[in-house]
Structure 1
Amino acid sequence: MNSMIHQKFQTRISVSAHKFISSLAVVAENPSNFYGRQDPNLSPFNPFHFFNDYAKSRWYTIKDTKMMHAHLIKTDVLHSDIFVTNSLMDWYCKSAAMGDALRLFDKISHPNIISWNIIISGYNNNLLFDCSWRIFCRMYLSGFDPNQFTYGSVLSACAALQSPVSGKQVYSLALKNGLYSNGYVRAGMIDLFAKCCSFEDALRVFHDFLCENVVCWNSIISGAVRNGENWVALDIFCQMCRGFLVPNSFTFSSILTACAKVEELEMGKGFQGWAIKCGAGEDVFVGTAIIDLYAKCGDMDEAVKEFWRMPNRNVVSWTTIITGFVQKDDSISALQFFKEMRTIREEINNYTVTSVLTACAKSAMFEEAIQIHSWIVKAGFHSDSSVRASLINMYSKIGAVDLSEMVFREMDNIKNLGTWAAMISALAQKKSSRRAIELFQRMFREDLKPDKFCSSSVLSIVDCLIFGRQIHCYALKTGLAFDVSVGSSLFTMYSKCGSLKESYEVFEQMLNKDNVSWASMIAGFTEHGYGDQAILLFREMLFEETRLDEMTITAILTACSSLHSLQKGKEIHGYALRAGVGKEILVGGALVTMYSKCGALDLARRVFDMMPQKDHVSCSSLVSGYAHSGYIEEALLLFHEIQMAGLGIDSFTISSVLGAVALLNRSNIGIQLHTHVTKLGLDLEVSVGSSLVTMYSKCGSIEDCRKVFDQIEKPDLIGWTAMIVSYAQHGKGAEALRLYELMKEEGIKPDSVTFVGVLSACSHNGLVEEGYFHLNSMTKDYGIEPGYRHYACMVDLLGRSGRLEEAKRFINNMPIEPDALVWGTLLAACKVHGDIELGRLAAKKVFELEPCDSGAYVSLSNICADVGQWEEVLKIRSLMNGTGVRKEPGWSFV
């Protein structure tokens, strides 16, 4: 029905146009009729009325315009009346026949200012901005003085060309010609600066002269919204209203968009009421902005009501309501509105299609995704680059990366960088590192230059320092390194590859740092054990007056957790509350974690209870905090409360509870939990499987450890390490080493904890040479610097093998100063082999480092007792009493 109405409308307009042409043909055959010479009742021909009537039809076709041109050529009107020539040229421009318009313009012997303005604005309207600029230059060189409309049009062309230098030259010329106060010219310059990401310059132009033209105010308000300065837009709007200027529909649509972006629903409702009072409520753009306001503020019911209240809706209105449902994660409603669009034959554009594809980007909507893809091919949207990129992203999100690659292979425009970026991102998200890097390298073979999206996506999965440096060189050469997203990806890559120094250098060189950059660098310092540096960086961020968000607060709270700094954590908590993000779920979980790790369990529980919504992180953090502090029963009771409250149990919470059971050493509770985990379907989760391995190991059942490990579909590094350490702790060194070799064959790189298990396995089997090999392999093959626990394992290995002097030499040659753990390990070996002299040396070193270590006193006393030196035993016991050291009494669960 809609198409029939549209067809009738076109026919009516076309007939109307041909009536004008027919009447003109009659006049052309009888020129005297122009002037009413033969019939006094005929009114004289008025070109203005004639062309005005045709313009009212709003229907311009190249065919009708050329017919009109042909008839006018037969008369002298075309060459004698500049109004007729300008009108015809305007029709050519509106018919998108710019070549014909320019030829007609060139035939005008004395073009006036309107002629120049028509051809310049015609090129603008047809998106031929280069041509618009060239015509303006030609106009200026011919000595013709532009007017305010000329300057406005050419400034619009400069804005579209992203050419602020040319725009400044034009604006300077306008100022020189006395148009400094003209609102149309200043609005064009404001718009130019705002679109060229120089909003401060736009503000400077705006404040240069008091403007009473609403166009100027609209330009600066829309420019502020475009540049993310939404509060500035709201402030300028208030100034505008205090100046007694009446906002129009453009003003209201911009200011409502600003309210939507800062999620100020109540303020937006006030502006909505004002728009209705001003008569702008029925404007389609204002109505669309109102829908967007309610949608972004999460009130979709009201958004739908406003949508159906609109007297007229366009494709933008429909796309806005669909996007609102997508943001609300209501894919069903989004698809229902899309279906309604198709039913009433509403116009659909590529933005609508990309929103619908986002709605289908769920594993549960695979069939709908296939159907939408089929419709896209049928409707002809398949060739659109943004739609193709959305298809790739959709299939990636639903787990069908092979279909993403199929869409990528079928693309027509191989030069479109957006599609390449989408495919690389899809592969990166699915951890297909090799294929993503191959695609990135292929871009260079195709003579394509990867943009910031391609580069940042591939950097997110690079774990090779050499390749990462190559991408860094490319980014520096092309200037991409100065982009905030690429810069952040670069220093994150260096941090991930273990080069924290290079990571910080890249961070310092970044000109513009956003909250993601600060949070990532703070997290990088924390992950590498430099919590103090993370705190200093946070203070530097505060001096930069960067607005705190939940990401930054969470990162710095993690640093406080690693330092066990309760005082700093409390200060950060205060910052979070003042910044208005203290009640965010992510921040709440980080606060619970921080207080738990700092031993302030009462505060952790208070924050936990005050959280309006509790997530898995906060639950597992508090359970883990109770467990590690020895409050095992409280941990299990909290786990029970979580279940009773129906909060849902995830793998992180289960892992924390299993850790508590491992500390409790109660296998019966562990078995019950294992059964519960199996019922929930979490037994195949890597983190849960690793926790089960550790739990069974602590409970003494190495066979159950191996059974659980074998059930894990794809063990990660933590899972492999847990099993290796379990074998080593149970004296099964050979099995631990075999598992270590199998892990390397799977392509998993060991970490420092893995090597503790490997060296322990060598110690239990007396494999001295293998122990030296693996210790050297840490630095040589994996770039891991050995720590005290690794050196203690080697001392234990040498001590068990009776090579005590070699162990002593090994300690003296350590690159780091030995601690009490290393000397204590040697002391234990001296006790086994009865070496009293070396035992005294080792004990002396332990006493110096940890005077309150009762174990060292007891070990030395036992060595002396074993060789019958009872006087030495009494001296050691009296030394213990003198220093206040007390031996802990033995205890057992049995």
Structure 2
Amino acid sequence: MNSSTRNSVNEGGGGGGGGVPRGLQEGGFITSIAIPNNPLNIKSQDSNFFHFFNNHIKTHKPSTREIKSVHANCIKTGIIDSDIYLANTLIGVYCEFATLADAGHLFDEIPEPNEVSWNLIISGYNRSAQYEESWRVFCRMHSSGIDPNQFTYGSVLSACSAAQASKNGEQVYCLALRKGLLSDPYVRSGMIDLYAKGFLFEDALKVFRDCVCGNVVCWNAIISGAVRNGENLVALDIFSRMISGYSLPNGFTFPSVLTACGALGELEIGRRVHGWVIKCGVGEDVYVGTSLIDLYVKCGDMNEAVKGFSRMLFRNVVSWTAIISGFVQKDDSASALCFFKEMMKVNVGINSYTVTSVLAACAKPALSREAIQIHSWTMKTGLYSDSTVKTSLINTYAKIGEIGLSEMVFGEMECTKNLETWAVMISGFAQNQNLGRTIELFKKMCRDGLRPDKFCSSSVLSIIDDVTLGRQIHCNVFKAGMNFDASVGSALSTMYSKCNSLVEAYNVFEEILDKDEVSWTSMIVGFAEHGCPKQALKLFINMPVKDIRPDQVILSAVLTACSALSSQRKGKEVHGYALRAGIDEDVLVGGALITMYSKCGSLFSAKRVFKMMPQNDQASWCSLMSGYAQKGSIEESILLFHDMRIAGLEIDCITISSLLVMAATLTKLFIGTQLHGLVMKTGLYSDVSVGSSLVTMYSRCGNIEKSHKVFDQIKNPDLVAWTSMIVGYAQHGKGIEALKLYELMRKHEVEPDAVTFVGVLSACGHNGLLEEGNYHLNSMKKDFGIEPGARHYACLVDLLGRLGRLEEAVILINSMPIKPDALVWGTLLAACKKHGDVELGRLAANKVLELEPSESGAYISLSNIFAHAGEWEEVLNIRRLNEECWLEERNCSQRA
């Protein structure tokens, strides 16, 4: 029962009928208004009737047959036609204990019904939720000339409120005002309730402020209305005015006020309201007690919530559910289950809301047994038939990884049209990374005529990694008009970012009307992680800091962008913000800071951040180790790795792989061999990423045979492993072996990427396989949809150069669909140097210097070509130009 309904019952308002409904609610029917003490002057032969009404009905719920028997007796004796009080009493009894149809028939038979008669039948229709009938009877009453009283108006306004008939209610209120009932609490509270339920809270406030009222009913109505309309601050302000002298609160005031405190997280105000609860002596009221529990739960004070719960003399299902939900919110599943067991012991009627809270507590892999037990219990008690319980079971099973059980429960719902259930099932498949079943269920949902909501669409988008499929879902979202929603827009933006379609990701981001923290985070992270660091920084600068406070995820993404740009100055600014916000010691931010300082060459700052962090994870250690490795400080890296092992951190695949890459970069075979031994000892050799790193390490360190041996030990090599081995063969001049391995990779149905083709084309170049090189270059676009890049064309130019076909190399460069870069022209220049082609060498060198004026290698190569041809004057000119370029570059550097 909500607070406004309880207010009406407590004060006699909203139930109508000159005070009669209050007596009905209390269980005894005879009241001072309906039947005065022996008003009928009943004779001795009617004593059974009098006894029945004054004693029997107070202690026993009469049957319809008993009531009709009394009714018949009254008709037989002829007293019902002559006494309106008796007729009204029978109408009330019919309304309370029998059928409204009988009450209506009796009402129609009364020759001259009075206002009590009309009030009784109106309030009867109200209690049975037949609000249109209440309105119809009131219209009859008004047209018949009977003057309604304040109870009539209160009842009819309640009916209009429940039926959301605000226009009818306004007409009734005007009639009441014309009768001079402006200050009547029943009328005003009814109108306040009408406006509040119709989400016209400003109008409700106007009615409340029309005149000063000391009646608690009006205050309760406006406070309850404010809470219902989300105006929690207004509710607290009105309560503050109320207790300043206008009216004392009662047991119906506090649930609304405490709800407002909970919604705002105002624990201190809530404590003061708790003091008023004690002062007014309503602490034992079950509704007030439950509201106190809910307040402390929402404010995170579970100790006070438990104390309040233990002090309650009577606990209903709402009280138990509130305390269980509180422990679920605090992620204390053990306590939630413990209270649920106690609840079962005391035989409190458990409802679907309790079950959904307990199932939420079981949504952990360690509690799968308990989830199954509750599932069985719901089937035994019949609660399993409730759709919300089944939906919760689907969600719980999905979260603990039992997607098969989720699907089983979903299948037992027999073509449900409940959108929430479909959304939870689709989300379950998405959480378990089952793209096929997610899309299949999404399509079936659409075929069944259900329109996906925001939650459902976001779940589907979260798992999609194919841009074509993502665009199809985007079209569906657009048709449903959800593309402007923050949650859906963020999911779309993330999907496009993941598919490397950053232009589309940004376009979606721009369309979001009310960008929230998730929206900004999604776009900034998308730019930072997909090679657009400048855009990430620009977006971060333009983010409205007043409305959205950057969190750990955003700051780590921005620091990643600073790392990519080697912008230590920007990184320090972000570091300063993290210090002011008090999140500089967060593991995510700390790791990003270490990476940023390491990549910017400031190892002192990186190590300082590392030491200041209260706890370092593997990523932090790896970042610092990589920083030292990049600076050539191999000993520092190894010492850090040693310290990491002493610290007791688990050595994972990422750590080992980064160390192996370091050893490969520095060609330190002895370090790589020791790491290989550690890999075998820790059992990480089965990991594909570690195997790929070992292949690369041995290849770069000159031991291609060992590299091949490691590759053969990988059970299911992925694309990276295959590519590492192919590139390794190509770099060691084993072109035939590289091409054979590529064909074997294709037999294993592993699709190559752009890096794989660099290795393949390089292998063709090392072995002079021109026909094979042309074939594979064309195959990239034709068979795999990969656009050849500058490195691929450079490989083919190198191949032609090795064969001495320099003119053909120039023709290839000029016919390239992309603009040749310094790498392509530099490759031709190296071939010209080898074959002593002065003219083409001059052309290639000029092109390189146009693109990279400070490239000293081009000057040296061209100088060597002229020297080989005996053109010493040109050699001197080239050397002079090189010196001038070097001096200009140095001067620019000093000015900067």
**TM-score, normalised on structure 2?**
0.77
Aligned AA for 2:93? L
Query: Which runs of structure 2 are paired with 1:28-427 in the superposition (5 Å)?
Result: 35-38=41-44, 54=58, 64=63, 67-68=66-67, 71-72=70-71, 74-75=73-74, 80-81=84-85, 83-84=88-89, 87-88=92-93, 90-91=95-96, 114-115=119-120, 118-119=123-124, 121-124=126-129, 132=131, 136=135, 139=138, 147-158=153-164, 167=166, 170=169, 174=173, 178=177, 182-193=188-199, 202=201, 206=205, 210=209, 213-216=218-221, 218-219=223-224, 222-223=227-228, 272=274, 275-279=277-281, 281-288=283-290, 291=293, 303-427=305-429
Aligned AA for 1:189? Y
Instruction: Report the Cα distance in structure 2 between the residues aligned to 1:363 and 1:290, rounded to whole angstroms.
Output: 33
Is this contact kept in 2: 1:802–1:833, CA < 8 A?
yes
Instruction: Report the Cα distance in structure 1 between the residues aligned to 2:559 and 2:628, rounded to whole angstroms.
Output: 19
Alpha-carbon spacing, 1:840–1:492, altered in 2? closer, same or farther (3 Å): same
Aligned AA for 2:843? L
Alpha-carbon spacing, 1:102–1:415, altered in 2? closer, same or farther (3 Å): farther
Structure-2 residue corresponding to 1:810:
812
| Cα deviation, residue 427, structure 1 | 1.7
| Cα deviation, residue 810, structure 1 | 3.0
Instruction: Report the Cα distance in structure 2 between the residues aligned to 1:137 and 1:43, rounded to whole angstroms.
Output: 33
| Cα deviation, residue 738, structure 1 | 5.8
Is this contact kept in 1: 2:123–2:134, CA < 8 A?
no
Alpha-carbon spacing, 1:329–1:700, altered in 2? closer, same or farther (3 Å): farther
Instruction: Report the Cα distance in structure 2 between the residues aligned to 1:675 and 1:503, rounded to whole angstroms.
Output: 45
Identity over the aligned pairs, expressed in percent?
A: 54
Q: Secondary structure at the match of 1:512?
A: coil
The alignment status of 1:456 with 2:450, answered yes or no, reads: no
Q: Secondary structure at the match of 1:346?
A: coil
Is this contact kept in 2: 1:331–1:359, CA < 8 A?
yes
Alpha-carbon spacing, 1:69–1:357, altered in 2? closer, same or farther (3 Å): same
Aligned AA for 1:151? L
Alpha-carbon spacing, 1:98–1:83, altered in 2? closer, same or farther (3 Å): closer
Alpha-carbon spacing, 1:743–1:411, altered in 2? closer, same or farther (3 Å): farther
Query: Which runs of structure 2 are paired with 1:608-619 in the superposition (5 Å)?
Result: 608-619=610-621
Stretch moving more, 327-336 or 378-387? 327-336
Stretch moving more, 98-107 or 549-558? 98-107
Instruction: Report the Cα distance in structure 1 between the residues aligned to 2:174 and 2:604, rounded to whole angstroms.
Output: 68
Stretch moving more, 728-737 or 233-242? 233-242
Query: Which runs of structure 2 are paired with 1:729-748 in the superposition (5 Å)?
Result: 729-733=731-735
Alpha-carbon spacing, 1:467–1:744, altered in 2? closer, same or farther (3 Å): farther
| Cα deviation, residue 437, structure 1 | 1.4
Alpha-carbon spacing, 1:749–1:268, altered in 2? closer, same or farther (3 Å): farther
Instruction: Report the Cα distance in structure 2 between the residues aligned to 1:580 and 1:233, rounded to whole angstroms.
Output: 34
Alpha-carbon spacing, 1:816–1:346, altered in 2? closer, same or farther (3 Å): same
Instruction: Report the Cα distance in structure 2 between the residues aligned to 1:646 and 1:117, rounded to whole angstroms.
Output: 77
Aligned AA for 1:219? S
Instruction: Report the Cα distance in structure 2 between the residues aligned to 1:264 and 1:349, rounded to whole angstroms.
Output: 29
| Cα deviation, residue 237, structure 1 | 6.6
| Cα deviation, residue 392, structure 1 | 2.5
Query: Which runs of structure 2 are paired with 1:4-43 in the superposition (5 Å)?
Result: 35-38=41-44
| Cα deviation, residue 542, structure 1 | 0.9
Structure-2 residue corresponding to 1:892:
none
Q: Secondary structure at the match of 2:459?
A: helix
Alpha-carbon spacing, 1:550–1:85, altered in 2? closer, same or farther (3 Å): farther
Structure-2 residue corresponding to 1:442:
444
Instruction: Report the Cα distance in structure 1 between the residues aligned to 2:650 and 2:249, rounded to whole angstroms.
Output: 51
Instruction: Report the Cα distance in structure 2 between the residues aligned to 1:705 and 1:449, rounded to whole angstroms.
Output: 55
Alpha-carbon spacing, 1:209–1:643, altered in 2? closer, same or farther (3 Å): farther
Alpha-carbon spacing, 1:884–1:472, altered in 2? closer, same or farther (3 Å): closer
Instruction: Report the Cα distance in structure 1 between the residues aligned to 2:849 and 2:507, rounded to whole angstroms.
Output: 42
Aligned AA for 1:457? S
Structure-1 residue corresponding to 2:21:
none
Structure-1 residue corresponding to 2:794:
792
Instruction: Report the Cα distance in structure 2 between the residues aligned to 1:106 and 1:709, rounded to whole angstroms.
Output: 96
Instruction: Report the Cα distance in structure 2 between the residues aligned to 1:332 and 1:448, rounded to whole angstroms.
Output: 38
Alpha-carbon spacing, 1:202–1:453, altered in 2? closer, same or farther (3 Å): same
Structure-2 residue corresponding to 1:829:
831
Q: Secondary structure at the match of 2:385?
A: coil
Is this contact kept in 2: 1:516–1:552, CA < 8 A?
no
Instruction: Report the Cα distance in structure 2 between the residues aligned to 1:566 and 1:586, rounded to whole angstroms.
Output: 18
Alpha-carbon spacing, 1:569–1:749, altered in 2? closer, same or farther (3 Å): farther
Is this contact kept in 2: 1:221–1:236, CA < 8 A?
no
Alpha-carbon spacing, 1:864–1:536, altered in 2? closer, same or farther (3 Å): same
Instruction: Report the Cα distance in structure 1 between the residues aligned to 2:518 and 2:573, rounded to whole angstroms.
Output: 21
> Which runs of 5 or more structure 1 residues have no equivalent in the other structure?
1-16, 24-31, 125-130, 159-165, 194-200, 888-894
Alpha-carbon spacing, 1:475–1:37, altered in 2? closer, same or farther (3 Å): same
Aligned AA for 1:118? S
Instruction: Report the Cα distance in structure 1 between the residues aligned to 2:133 and 2:884, rounded to whole angstroms.
Output: 96
Per-residue CA distance 1:786-829 (angstroms, 9 max, x = gap): 54434434433443444333332333334444332232222223
| Cα deviation, residue 425, structure 1 | 1.6
Alpha-carbon spacing, 1:43–1:388, altered in 2? closer, same or farther (3 Å): closer
Query: Which runs of structure 2 are paired with 1:706-721 in the superposition (5 Å)?
Result: 718=720, 721=723
Q: Secondary structure at the match of 2:314?
A: coil
Alpha carbon RMSD of aligned pairs, Å? 4.8
Structure-1 residue corresponding to 2:894:
none
Aligned AA for 2:67? M
Aligned AA for 1:519? T
Aligned AA for 2:63? D
Query: Which runs of structure 2 are paired with 1:555-566 in the superposition (5 Å)?
Result: 555-566=557-568
| Cα deviation, residue 438, structure 1 | 1.6
Structure-2 residue corresponding to 1:665:
667
Per-residue CA distance 1:308-336 (angstroms, 9 max, x = gap): 34433333333344344444444444333
| Cα deviation, residue 216, structure 1 | 4.6
Q: Secondary structure at the match of 1:406?
A: helix
Instruction: Report the Cα distance in structure 2 between the residues aligned to 1:305 and 1:424, rounded to whole angstroms.
Output: 40
**TM-score, normalised on structure 1?**
0.77
Q: 1 or 2 for the larger relative contact order (CA 8 Å, sep ≥6)?
A: 2
**Larger-gyration structure (1/2):** 2
Q: Secondary structure at the match of 1:516?
A: helix
Is this contact kept in 2: 1:852–1:885, CA < 8 A?
no
Alpha-carbon spacing, 1:405–1:641, altered in 2? closer, same or farther (3 Å): same
Is this contact kept in 2: 1:102–1:119, CA < 8 A?
no
Q: Secondary structure at the match of 2:315?
A: coil
| Cα deviation, residue 565, structure 1 | 3.6
Is this contact kept in 2: 1:89–1:105, CA < 8 A?
no
Q: Secondary structure at the match of 1:455?
A: helix
2:434 to 426, 432, 435: 432
Alpha-carbon spacing, 1:385–1:880, altered in 2? closer, same or farther (3 Å): same
1:532 to 506, 528, 534: 534
| Cα deviation, residue 479, structure 1 | 3.5
Instruction: Report the Cα distance in structure 2 between the residues aligned to 1:259 and 1:704, rounded to whole angstroms.
Output: 69
